[in-house]
Amino acid sequence: MSRNEYMKNYMRNYRKTSPLYKIHSKNANESRRIRAMLKIKLVLVCKCGRNDLSILEIHHTNNNGSEDRKNRKGDKFYDDIIQGRRKTDDLDILCVVCNWEEQLKVLKKLHPLE
C-alpha cells in the first residue's frame, strides 16, 4: 500500500469512527466563518453593541443573501470572502437579533399591513 493510499484509508476511517472529527470539522468551519467576518469588519461588534462571536452573522445589506448562498454553496461563500474573490461592501456584521430586525423591515416593505 502506498503512503497516499494509507493516508486516504486512515482519513476515511477517522472520519467514520472518531468522535473528535465532528468537533474538529465544526471548529474548522467556525474559524473560517470568523476569518470571513474579519474581512468585512476589523472589530467584530454589532451596531447594537453585542460582540459575542457565537451570535454574530454576516448580513447582506442589499438583502440578496438567499441568492448569494444559492450561488456559493456552503463554505465557498466564506472562502471567496477570505481569498478576496468576493467584494464585501454589501456585507455587514450583525447579531442574530439585529439581522432578524433588518429582515423583518424588508418583509414589512414587501407585504405592508393596511
Site residues for Zn ion per CB under 5 A: 46, 48, 50, 95, 98
CB of 4 to Zn ion, least distance (A): 48
DSSP state of 2: -
Residue with Cβ nearer Zn ion (36 or 93): 93
Residue with Cβ nearer Zn ion (37 or 98): 98
Question: Largest Cα–Cα distance of the chain, in whole Å?
Answer: 72
Residue with Cβ nearer Zn ion (59 or 86): 59
DSSP letters along 37-55, please? Answer: HHHH-SS---TTS---GGG
- CA nearest neighbour of 69 among 42, 36, 35, 28: 36
CB of 103 to Zn ion, least distance (A): 13
